Structure 1
Amino acid sequence: MPHESVPARRSLLKLLAAAPAASALGGLATAAPATAATAATVPGIVKPTPPELFTIRGTNAESRFDAFRSTGLLTPTDRFFVRNHTSTPVLDAATWRLTLWGDGLHGRGPVHLTYGQLRDLPSVTRTALVECAGNGRSLYATQQGETVSGTAWTLGAVGAARWRGARLSDVLRRAGIAADAVDVQPRGLDDEYVTGGVNLGRVRRPLPVAKALDDVILAYEMNGEPLPYDHGYPVRVVVPSWVGIASVKWLGDIEVSTTPLSSPWSTDHYRLFGAAHPPGGSAPITRQTLKSGYELPFGTTLEAGRVHRLTGRAWSALAPVRGVEVSTDGGALWRPARLLDAPRRDGWVRWTVPWRPRRTGPATLLSRTTDAAGNIQPERAVHNTQGYLFNAVVRHPVVVVRDGEPPRTFV
């Protein structure tokens, strides 16, 4: 992904103070998302980002993976990672319009929907992960000694939510999608993205019509509440199992085309470049991959001689998780972990395993996911220069200390 920068922005506090508590939209009273204007926030991000929950990475806030330990299958909104190319816009649902346009519509002219009209369409609720394509990127360098560019995510650029909205297929059919349409391209309402002196415009990325008509939704609720500003209010795209860039936030318009579409987010970025890939780069990446991780800080200390209930999460965008194996000795021996949830499509499972370390000193914990299609996390991920789709088994360092020694974290 391109390098992020924070442009000058209008005052968020002023906008938040002016935001209406509710808007009458097509007879529907819709509350604006909750905010905490008095709490400390990162410039460009509206919600609080306390250090016990987030690691700030430029314009982004990565969830601390260990902070998921006390949560259920759904990621609470206050712990959900934030991926911004610029900064979070504060929009008003009362004036929001979705415009559909392009030669892939019967009438060829633009079609507009208000927020109320979108909510009047039949709704669907889907529980799905959203995961940045670069999640795990820093591990190419720290674990494999390979150079990559982009935001140095560890494992926290992922979250699971219950999304409610209208099917994109219903919206496209209402707008009059033509039989020969091949691509649709949602575009956001955040600021135009400028990098290296080049204006790339607003974030947008094409979807093939087959995917758009399948399981994609235009979401206006997240975990039973209106979308928070940082997560796409008033409406965002949710593309289950695909890389996060496809789930465009702050949706403003959708181009429908009878010819293939492209954008900088499908040509220069979100493709695989490097020695293991074609000279001109791979096709634009679509599906995410599979991962697992321990809900522990890297370098944490654990007492010898006592049983520790280790927990973690495992997921695959390719098929439901079938099982998780763990190793507490750097990979010499493996044993199955106990799954706490029924595996399902587009979701993750929590797992647990007891461990009673006997020897003091450094130790390496490993976990690996196998999914129902037979995919298994490899020992190494295939390198690409932008650090996408890291899927290798994560080497998780801990330190075992003698009984009674105060717990601490090594960094």
Structure 2
Amino acid sequence: MEIGLRRRSVLGLPVAGLAAAGIAQLPARRAWAGAPAIQKPLPPEQFIDYGTNAEMRWTSVDPRRQATPQARLFVRNHTRTPQIDPASYRLTIAGDGLRDPAGVTLGLTELKRRFRHVEVTSVHECTGNGRSFFDTQQGAKASGTAWTLGAVGSVTWQGVRLRDVLRWAGLRPDAVSVQGVGLDDEYVDKGENLGRVRRPFPIAKALDDALLAWGLNGEPLLPDHGFPLRLVLPGWVGIASIKWLGSLEVSMTELTSPWNTRWYNIGGPLTVNPVRSAWELPWNATLAAGRPVVLTGRSWSGAAPVARVEVSTDGGTTWQRARLRPATGRRTEGHGWTRWAHTWHRPTAGSHQLLARATDLRGRRQPDVAAFNPNGYFFDAVVKHPVTVA
């Protein structure tokens, strides 16, 4: 039996606390017992609507703007977006990794009043971003939502340090892992009820840069993005940043859930996101021949800022350095994506493939081919973006 399930009765936590188990893939559909799975508007010129998920269209991205507005941020739901009353909301923190295993309960107002507020910028990204390219570019189809590259955004979170909250709650020095549990509907996969979405992570990450966030880009979280409170693990796979956070289990042993064993696992639980790049250009765009055209795009990494970006307008035969554009807006802790530009001086008529590859400050560079896995995680290869010059 999983640790999270075994301890629920021992700790006497509410259903909204250390709830049962994991997740599964429900059929994509917008309607859910008469209510939409996603609450915010999804204009077709801005999103690809997958039912329970929605992908940002790169053609809707403003090249002049650094941050991704909440209204434009992708949505990854396993069930539906819940309605939570912030006035009655409580976060439960418990487990044998605390001096008192019965733990503590905090309301949103007390959380904001008691701890120092911080702002952290990070790239928020679904683990399956780019999944469709395993099929269309490498000829190996993977299961799951067929994201292109729009399951990503660069945002600034407002909240408090998880380490401050854990220490106040009585963190033991020999605690090993933490598991966040969401308040969305329990997840049922092929008739098996896996409980609420949850995923554990090492205490080292909790004591490093993990956040409990109530805001995004200076605004309260929208319901689709975790209102009233979510866990944020900067740079890590999106599933690790549990939305609608109801409870945290702090353990003396390594915790597991279907979200780090059955899914989001390639020879071990996935953590830091890879390096990726995208052009701010329609797929199969038509460009004018013989005229200089300024092409723009963005690159990002979960591990470190992007150090350089190289682009090719001839399908990879030759490469040139792109011009990195300075970040705009107020500086905060952390790092977002890097904007870049390239001038294609004399495009010739015909079909072309535009390529962009980035290298981060830790030396990680996008490969030509991504390692296949059946669930389609971590497609980090250079994407071949087709255009026509006429």
Distance in 1 (alpha carbons) for counterparts of 2:223 and 2:334: 27
Distance in 1 (alpha carbons) for counterparts of 2:368 and 2:63: 29
Q: Give the alignment of 1:328-367 within 5 angstroms.
A: 328-341=313-326, 345-367=334-356
Task: Name the residue aligned to 1:16.
Answer: none
Distance in 1 (alpha carbons) for counterparts of 2:55 and 2:122: 18
Distance in 2 (alpha carbons) for counterparts of 1:346 and 1:385: 30
1:283-324: CA deviations, max 9, x gaps?
Answer: 101110000110011111111111111000011112221110
Higher mean C-alpha deviation, range 256-265 or range 356-365? 356-365
Instruction: Give yes or no for the alignment of 1:49 onto 2:79.
Output: no
Instruction: Identify the structure with bigger relative contact order (alpha carbons < 8 Å, sequence gap 6+).
Output: 2
Distance in 1 (alpha carbons) for counterparts of 2:204 and 2:347: 54
Q: 1:112 aligns with which of 86, 105, 110?
A: 105
Against the structure 1 CA distance between its residues 210 and 294, is the aligned structure 2 distance closer, same or farther, given a 3 Å change threshold? same
Task: Name the residue aligned to 2:309.
Answer: 324
CA shift for structure 1 position 144: 0.5
Instruction: Give yes or no for the alignment of 1:397 onto 2:386.
Output: yes
CA shift for structure 1 position 8: 6.8
Q: How many residue pairs align between the two structures?
A: 362
1:315-367: CA deviations, max 9, x gaps?
Answer: 11122211101100101111111000259954211000111344222110000
Distance in 1 (alpha carbons) for counterparts of 2:197 and 2:31: 18
Q: 1:156 aligns with which of 150, 155, 176?
A: 150
Task: State the superposition RMSD in angstroms.
Answer: 1.7
Instruction: Give yes or no for the alignment of 1:192 onto 2:186.
Output: yes
Q: 1:136 aligns with which of 90, 105, 130?
A: 130
Report SS of the residue matched to 1:148: coil
Instruction: Give yes or no for the alignment of 1:371 onto 2:356.
Output: no
Against the structure 1 CA distance between its residues 306 and 141, is the aligned structure 2 distance closer, same or farther, given a 3 Å change threshold? same
CA shift for structure 1 position 57: 1.6
Residue ranges of structure 1 left out of the alignment (5+ in a row): 13-42, 273-281, 402-411
With the length of structure 1 as denominator, give the TM-score of the two structures: 0.85
Moved over 6 A (4+): none
Q: 1:261 aligns with which of 251, 255, 259?
A: 255
Instruction: Give yes or no for the alignment of 1:290 onto 2:275.
Output: yes
Check the 8 A contact 1:322/1:372 in 2, yes or no. yes
Report SS of the residue matched to 2:109: helix
The residue type equivalent to 1:386 in the other structure is N
Q: 1:246 aligns with which of 235, 240, 245?
A: 240
Distance in 2 (alpha carbons) for counterparts of 1:8 and 1:194: 17
Percent of matched pairs sharing the same residue = 53
Task: Name the residue aligned to 1:18.
Answer: none
Q: Give the alignment of 1:204-223 within 5 angstroms.
A: 204-223=198-217
Residue ranges of structure 2 left out of the alignment (5+ in a row): 1-22
With the length of structure 2 as denominator, give the TM-score of the two structures: 0.90
Against the structure 1 CA distance between its residues 169 and 55, is the aligned structure 2 distance closer, same or farther, given a 3 Å change threshold? same
1:17-44: CA deviations, max 9, x gaps?
Answer: xxxxxxxxxxxxxxxxxxxxxxxxxx21
CA shift for structure 1 position 10: 5.7
Distance in 1 (alpha carbons) for counterparts of 2:24 and 2:133: 18
CA shift for structure 1 position 110: 2.9
CA shift for structure 1 position 73: 1.4
The residue type equivalent to 1:54 in the other structure is F
Distance in 2 (alpha carbons) for counterparts of 1:318 and 1:257: 26
Q: 1:307 aligns with which of 283, 292, 299?
A: 292
